[in-house]
Structure 1
Amino acid sequence: MQKALTQMNVQLHKVVSDITGTTGMAIIRAIVAGETDPQILAAKRHHRTKRSETEIAAALNGDYRNEHIFVLQQELQLYDVYQAQIAACDRQIQECLAQFSDKVNLDESPLPQPKHPRNKPQGNEPAFDLRTHLYRISGVDFTAIDGLGILTVQTLISELGLDPTRFPTVKNFTSWLGLCPCNRITGGKVKSSQTRLVVNSAANAFRMAAQTAGKSNSAESCFLSSLTFSPWYAQRYHCYCS
């Protein structure tokens, strides 16, 4: 869709942060329906959009040729098909999660409010309440740790499970993940301390969590600034499971 808009010289991406958001999709669907007046299109902006109608209308002065609108229509239909397939996958995931037994009674121990509430799902986050499912299955709100988002926690639980006894110590756990330094010492001198090359989705999730927390204003950010990020997160996960 972005390519079709560019060919029409419609600079929608410069006035909205995401063309597949509420404002972007409302404008695109109106264009496909036959509307080409920039002022009418700009009036479809969401009330929380930062740009004014005048700014949006200025970006919508383009060359609305029939062939370009046809291409945009084709791309929009494909987008809707993919969204329907993603929704079907989300429903299947939700049904699978519902089959796991509860480790916590939500009535007696309700899930705390998120530390950083959002108005809409972020990235590839599913449309259903994944956080509640993960809390019910694990009995622990892992998202209380700064840097551990809902999708990161889902990856960790699916890859590692919730049984910490498979690893005798935290050191064994970080070694299996390939996050601990692999010191190569010769003559009493450390020649290399790079980590081992390990293809591990859980290790990548810990790295992403550490990078996210390192850029935040949390206490973990100050603590991690002087440490290796990923092993510390692996230790926290191991302790929470215990």
Structure 2
Amino acid sequence: MGKVTTGDHPDLKMVNPSAAAIDIGSTMHMAAVNPSATDTPVRAFGTFTRDLHDLADWFRSCGVTSVAMESTGVYWIPAFEILEQHGFKVILVNARYAKNVPGRKTDVSDAGWLRQLHSYGLLRGSFRPEAEIATLRAYMRQRERLVEYAAAHIQHMQKALMEMNLQVHHVVSDITGATGMRIIRAIVAGERDPDVLASFRDTRCHSSVETIRAALVGNDRAEHIFALTQSLELYDTYQTMMKDCDHKLEAAIATLTVKASGAIAALPKARMKGKQVNAPSFDVRAALHGVIGVDLTQIHGLGPSLALKLIAECGTDLKAWSSAKHFTSWLCLAPGTKISGGKLLSSRTRRSSSRAAALLRLAAVTLGRSDTALGAFYRRLSARAGKQKAVTATARKIAVLFYNALRFGMTYNDPGAAAYDERHRTRVLANLHRRAQSLGYILSPTPKAEAVS
């Protein structure tokens, strides 16, 4: 392959002449280095592990110290990890910001253009957590997949029961609860007597024995029993896998570097009682408190499981973002600033596929009916601007609280919905008084009407 150049720009100063870049592909990676380092500055490499080690050796022979690559699917992960193992500084780049240039549509020119941008210092790497957080995140995402797979088999069990006209889901709130699972396991074991099946009712079940018995008179067919049996076995299998994953999660949290400085304060009283559905089998709240030194569940909307997912996505210190504004902007929860000619054209938030942002939006939705300051803020904004904007704005507030708690150890104390409403009323009155004075008027309160006897 002949010598390939990407053009020079004398008005730009090269800040990283030892930069390289890779155009990531599924079967081939196109790598580019400084044209002054070799006669073939652009080379193609396969995606096998041996090829990636050869790529690292070629980079070292060319004097490369820093490598930029695009986040293409999951194909970048092996190359990223192997290059890091060889001691290179690797940054991950969003292709939307690196290749939005017309006329550069081939793999060769893409790699060269990416290298040139990197050599001029025009690329900014995406957030990549530390190795211990990446391990925790991998286990957490695997557990989420297991939960989804188990949920699918819950639906299969419910379908099989409906086909037999055993309407268990109408008399129990959750067929995977104590009453539902006892009944399902008895049916799979061969029990058909409605009286016997109804006797498996848990004392906490709201439906009476008679109601449950009436719902368990069905039409038994062998093929439906077979489907129910296999769905139950698969559900139990995924439950076992989730427990194994929980052990890995607990061990991964135990290996995290303790971020709290000095003595860690005692774990405060739990804000929520009871265990959440599909929560890990160990005490997540206590495990996280021992690492970060603060109780994230004191922030309304964040339960132990949700807090663990956020830690797995963002890390334990958040030093990658210099301020809460930078953090919320990365999450695409901050208003946009599309300005032209000094005029704001749009303040819409950018679309995002961030898992952390989706978790924070989920937390915001749960606050809709809560008697909290965040709940009052959500309801006020929802009535004025709509639920979609209210969810985004509330998620941003939770993100700021999450950032301050992790970065600075802030403890959140909820003032309550009444205090928030009163503070909002005071602020509105102050604005009205100021506007009235600017127009030459003075506002005065309306006297209360006398009571009628």
Q: TM-score, normalised by structure 2?
A: 0.50
Determine helix, strand or coil for the equivalent of 2:319.
helix
Deviates most, 76-85 or 39-48:
76-85
| Larger Rg computed on CA atoms | 2
Cα distance in 2 for residues equivalent to 1:20 and 1:143? 26
**Cα RMSD over matched residues?**
2.2
Aligned to 1:125: 279
Cα distance in 2 for residues equivalent to 1:34 and 1:164? 55
Judged with a 3 Å threshold, the aligned counterparts in structure 2 of structure 1 residues 189 and 100 are, in CA distance, closer, same or farther, namely closer
Aligned to 1:85: 241
Judged with a 3 Å threshold, the aligned counterparts in structure 2 of structure 1 residues 103 and 195 are, in CA distance, closer, same or farther, namely closer
Which of 21, 32, 41 is matched with 2:197 structurally?
Answer: 41
Deviates most, 4-13 or 154-163:
154-163
Judged with a 3 Å threshold, the aligned counterparts in structure 2 of structure 1 residues 176 and 140 are, in CA distance, closer, same or farther, namely same
**Between structures 1 and 2, the one with greater strand share:** 2
Judged with a 3 Å threshold, the aligned counterparts in structure 2 of structure 1 residues 198 and 45 are, in CA distance, closer, same or farther, namely same
Aligned to 2:360: 206
Which of 162, 176, 180 is matched with 2:330 structurally?
Answer: 176
Aligned to 2:415: none
Q: How many residues matched? A: 239
Judged with a 3 Å threshold, the aligned counterparts in structure 2 of structure 1 residues 202 and 71 are, in CA distance, closer, same or farther, namely closer
The structural deviation recorded for 1:166 is: 2.5
Judged with a 3 Å threshold, the aligned counterparts in structure 2 of structure 1 residues 53 and 148 are, in CA distance, closer, same or farther, namely same
Which of 9, 23, 26 is matched with 2:182 structurally?
Answer: 26
**Contact 2:299 2:398 survives alignment (8 Å):** no
Query: Is residue 256 of structure 2 the alignment partner of residue 100 of structure 1?
Result: yes
Q: Deviations over 1:156-206 (max 9, x none)?
A: 212222324332222212111111111434677654321112221111122
Determine helix, strand or coil for the equivalent of 1:82.
helix
Aligned to 2:172: 16
Determine helix, strand or coil for the equivalent of 1:165.
coil
Which of 401, 419, 428 is matched with 1:236 structurally?
Answer: 401
* Corresponding letter in the other structure for 2:401: R
Determine helix, strand or coil for the equivalent of 1:202.
helix
**Contact 2:246 2:280 survives alignment (8 Å):** yes
* Corresponding letter in the other structure for 1:197: R
Query: Is residue 217 of structure 2 the alignment partner of residue 52 of structure 1?
Result: no
**Contact 2:259 2:316 survives alignment (8 Å):** no
Aligned to 1:148: 302
Cα distance in 2 for residues equivalent to 1:223 and 1:128? 34
Aligned to 1:109: 265
Deviates most, 156-165 or 135-144:
156-165
Q: Mark the runs of 5 or more structure 2 residues left unpaired by the alignment.
A: 1-156, 382-389, 409-453
Cα distance in 2 for residues equivalent to 1:163 and 1:112? 21
Judged with a 3 Å threshold, the aligned counterparts in structure 2 of structure 1 residues 136 and 58 are, in CA distance, closer, same or farther, namely same
Aligned to 2:316: 162
Q: Deviations over 1:5-24 (max 9, x none)?
A: 11111000111111111110
Judged with a 3 Å threshold, the aligned counterparts in structure 2 of structure 1 residues 162 and 99 are, in CA distance, closer, same or farther, namely closer
